[in-house]
Amino acid sequence: MSKARFRTLTQLGAKIALPASPDEAVIESVANTRPGETYVVRFTCPEFTSLCPVTGQPDFAHLVIDYVPARKLVESKSLKLYLGSFRNHPGFHEDCTVGIARRLVREIKPKWLRIGGYWYPRGGLPIDVFYQTGPAPKGVWLPDQGVAPYRGRG
């Protein structure tokens, strides 16, 4: 496989500072070498962090992103930097979760995408946020996202 086809990537293999905000983050992609296949790509981010827009306190979530690629694949380092850029970003759980999904759809135009945002409780109330672009493609195997509902310590 020729490295020439990866010359457009600016972050992979380079020392890159965490973007100051999600708007400043660059999501890069590579060509899907199997565009005729229907398969699922999963990214799991068990330590996602953002800030409450009212109190400024940190919020934590376990994100699971599944997508069926079309012509592009998300380059994983750029996704890691994008997700990390939320660390100092004020946003409600719903806005962060759905905003991540919409940004990925805009950048890579997948055949299908879903995200599960499993937010840890603050104030005693966990909020889970789920989004998908529509019905999953016919014949695709979709494993369970594997995150148990919050049950506390009992």
- Residue 45: which CATH number? 3.30.1130.10
52 in catalytic set: yes
pLDDT in tens, 36-89: 999 999 999 999 999 999 999 999 999 999 999 999 999 999 999 999 999 999
Q: Kindly report the three-state secondary structure assignment for every residue of the chain.
A: CCHHHHCCCCCCCCCCCCCCCCCCCCCCEEECCCCCCCCCEEEEEEEEEEECCCCCCEEEEEEEEEEECCCEEECHHHHHHHHHHHHHCECCHHHHHHHHHHHHHHHHCCCEEEEEEEECCECCECCEEEEECCCCCCCCCCCCCCCCCCCCCC
Tell me how far apart the alpha carbons of residues 108 and 73 are, in angstroms, rounded to a whole number: 7
Whether 6 has a pLDDT exceeding 70, the answer reads no
Domain assignment present for residue 8? The answer is no
Our answer to whether residue 66 is catalytic in this structure is no
Q: Provide the residue range defining the domain that includes 96.
A: 26-132
In a domain, 72, yes or no: yes
Q: Is residue 152 part of a domain?
A: no
Q: Considering its fold, how many domains does the chain have in total?
A: 1
Query: Which one from 23, 45, 59, 96 is the annotated catalytic residue?
Result: 59
- Overall pTM > 0.85: yes
Instruction: Check residue 145 and give its pLDDT.
Output: 93
